């Protein structure tokens, strides 16, 4: 029996479909404008997130690289310093993960533009950001402990109702952002393929 597999998949798809209709066009347009300008000016993009949100961020960064962006992921050894011409994309459902909030605070000090992808615009991350794109997902905040502390203590959230919905929705949203940027920048799948890794194990 795969009852729960089907139920979970349907729940996620239905949730994402509802979010699509509720996207704030102004928020998304501002994000797209900033990313497009960063590309044209050769500015650096720093993508960051913790846990599964970090994996979503890595997938987004990979596509930005394929588009020709000067993009990095927080925590990699080759990540350079950033400054006021640069852009930070911070992904956190709760907007409270301490590592991401601290990194955003550092980015704010050097006057980088911060784009927050979060379910909570009024969170610490949301208040730091220059642009907030609200992606619903969590029905309630996790205990008032940051992500890494929860992992150490063995506190895990249920599968679909909380973190999963945000992460899956954020992934689909950011894939949509990539396609919008492809059109704005006049890029095709051939252009992306030309920058795809050609040395793989």
Please identify every residue annotated as catalytic.
167
Interacting residues of 9 by C-beta distance below 8 A, sequence separation 6+:
none
Angle of CA points 80, 84, 89, to nearest 5°: 65
Phi-psi domain of 132 (left: phi exceeds 0; alpha: psi -120 through 50; beta: other): beta
Query: Which helix (DSSP H) or strand (DSSP E) does residue 44 occupy?
Result: strand 44-49
Interacting residues of 120 by C-beta distance below 8 A, sequence separation 6+:
93, 94, 95, 96, 126, 138, 141
- Cα-based distances in Å from 150 to 146, 164, 190: 6, 16, 43
């Amino acid at each position: 029996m795969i009852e729960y597999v089907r139920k979970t998949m349907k729940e996620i798809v239905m949730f994402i479909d509802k979010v699509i209709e509720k996207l704030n066009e102004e928020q998304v347009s501002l994000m797209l404008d900033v990313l497009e300008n960063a590309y044209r000016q050769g500015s650096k993009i720093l993508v960051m997130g913790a846990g599964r949100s970090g994996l979503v961020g890595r997938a987004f960064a990979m596509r930005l690289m394929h588009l020709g962006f000067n993009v990095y992921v927080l925590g990699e050894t080759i990540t350079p310093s950033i400054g006021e011409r640069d852009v930070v994309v911070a992904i956190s459902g709760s907007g409270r993960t301490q590592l991401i909030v601290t990194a955003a605070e550092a980015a704010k000090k050097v006057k980088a533009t911060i784009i927050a992808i979060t379910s909570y615009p009024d969170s610490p991350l949301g208040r730091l950001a220059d642009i907030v794109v609200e992606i619903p997902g969590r029905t309630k905040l996790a205990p008032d402990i940051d992500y890494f502390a929860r992992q150490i203590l063995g506190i895990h959230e249920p599968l679909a109702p909380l973190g999963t919905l945000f992460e899956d929705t954020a992934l689909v949203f950011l894939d949509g952002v990539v396609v919008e940027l492809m059109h704005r920048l006049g890029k095709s799948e051939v252009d992306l393929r030309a920058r795809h890794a050609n040395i793989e194990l």
